[in-house]
Chain A
């Protein structure tokens, strides 16, 4: 993202104010919940962007980091009474290390090959957690109900505090992403995206920078996982380690416009309300209609409007001038 225009800054400022004011204006648990999911996936989309948007490392395995974050903080809380905020950092660090571990064998993989490797990795994690007694395997973990406070990262009487926390997380992610994009790492990742050979020739250790990207992306995604655990208060492999979550993250980033910072936010804003609303209205019987609509939307958008909404908007903006 180059130096944003005045128009773009104004747009973001207005948007930010609107989001800050939203819970005060719109009451009701469902709308708040939808917005929380939007922010959650927007955050993961931004984290994905560091890999897929900048460095062409199309990760379809982000859910592994999400799950590791969720499980780490939860186990630390349940078994060792560790404060969830510390658990948050621990989860992030663990996810980053796992990301680095998988990043090394995959350092030469690009595009489709990388995508499949990332899926394989995430599936190994899922299968393991599904069978691991220490984390209660397929049964899942129910978080202990602590008294409501910011310190305990738990609220019972209202979703609004969660709303603001995840919004702050999202803003943090956006700032990190922007910092990366405008400084050396962003340049190097884009060089790596162009060609490993070229990067080498310019003194860039593509292995090292790819690892950095994975680790940062993993950390942020794990943070989202911890948030989810503290929000939903129950986690199991089928809710925090499944492929559809990874796919959703990619779709969010792609729909909004991969490679842009605000893209995933827009993508999440469109996709999450859609999936949440269709799930509630149409999915309760398990009929699958909600997902059919979802799938159809994805098909049509990627086939006929792949540059995403942001790309679409900027094109219109340009033409408008």
Chain B
């Protein structure tokens, strides 16, 4: 029971020219929970995501990780501190095998080539990619690539894993597998923040949900509460539907 929260996001604001992509967004994340960030397209979720992970520098606000201010820290340092991320458009290293991709991740914490390889193999087993270990990174299905991305991130031994639309473009079967994988990751002691559109995953996995619209946080709560919240419905479906529900 430490006083400092695991992750604290305070008043994050980010502007691009005249457009305010993210405005005064604040929330906290408890250790061990799965928090989802949802919102309509263009709401500013990715911008927020990038501000937290050090890819953008916010114009105002703070990000505190275990009490440490990481607002202006560079992206690679944030990864070293224990926050790993995936990308909206899946990125794997093309001229490497699946195993080598994960090794690139595990190399962050060890230099010993044998250990690096062993850890990577373990992670591949965990992620269900063990059989495809020697396939070229580009030669696997999109669903496997997404798993690979998760595996690569896990290689860096994060305490917080942030997923950017990991469920997009998956078939129903693949979706279930991914949900199972995320659950396993949490069971292994990793806190998760997931930015998602696929509601099934949000409902199943989240302990709490934060809803963003037009750059602002409009509400925060359990999945059940969020789904009934009139403001949320209005944000997604427009005025015509909110009154009727």
Contacts and interface: CB of A to CB of B under 8 A. Distances in A.
A219 B79 CA distance: 31
B143 to A, nearest CB: 19
A90 B74 CA distance: 34
Contacts of B54: 200
A197 B113 contact: no
Contact of A202 (B55, B79, B100, B116): B79
B147 to A, nearest CB: 16
Nearest to B93: A194
B96 A190 contact: yes
B111 interface: yes
A191 B113 CA distance: 17
Given A182-B113, A197-B87, A201-B84, A187 B76 contact: no
Interface in B100-123: 100, 103-105, 107-108, 111, 113, 116
Interface string A181-217: 0111001101101110111111111100000000000
A185 to B, nearest CB: 9
Interface string B78-108: 0110001111000111111000100111011
B127 interface: no
Given A187-B104, A197-B87, A203 B79 contact: yes
Contacts of B152: 202
A144 to B, nearest CB: 45
B194 to A, nearest CB: 16
Given A183-B113, A184-B111, A199 B76 contact: yes
A270 B143 CA distance: 45
A258 to B, nearest CB: 11
Nearest to A182: B113
B78 to A, nearest CB: 8
Nearest to A54: B95
Given A198-B93, A202-B152, A187 B75 contact: no
A211 to B, nearest CB: 14
| Most A Cβ at <10 Å: residue of B53, B54, B93 | B93
A58 B13 CA distance: 38
Interface in B22-63: 53-55
B53 A201 contact: yes
A206 B79 CA distance: 13
B213 interface: no
Contact of B87 (A182, A183, A201): A201
Given A190-B93, A190-B95, A191-B104, A201 B79 contact: yes
Contacts of B96: 187, 190
Nearest to B54: A200
A113 B94 CA distance: 22
B156 interface: yes
B208 to A, nearest CB: 25
Contact of B79 (A182, A195, A200): A200
A41 to B, nearest CB: 25
Contacts of B155: 202
Given A190-B93, A191-B93, A202-B156, A184 B107 contact: yes
A197 B91 contact: yes
Interface string A137-150: 00000000000000
Contacts of A190: 93, 95-96, 104
A197 B153 CA distance: 13
A238 B240 CA distance: 76
Contacts of A183: 111, 113
A97 to B, nearest CB: 24
A200 B93 contact: no
A204 B113 contact: no
B80 A187 contact: no
A294 B74 CA distance: 47
Contacts of A205: 74, 76-77
A64 to B, nearest CB: 28
B91 A188 contact: no
B87 A202 contact: no
Interface of B: 53-55, 74-77, 79-80, 84-87, 91-96, 100, 103-105, 107-108, 111, 113, 116, 152-153, 155-156
Q: Which 7 A-B pairs have the closest CB atoms?
A: A203-B79, A200-B75, A203-B108, A198-B91, A194-B93, A187-B104, A184-B107
16 contacts: A184-B111, A187-B96, A188-B107, A190-B93, A191-B93, A194-B92, A194-B93, A197-B91, A200-B55, A200-B75, A201-B53, A201-B75, A201-B87, A203-B80, A203-B108, A205-B74
Given A190-B93, A200-B75, 7 more contacts: A182-B113, A191-B104, A198-B91, A201-B53, A201-B55, A203-B76, A205-B76
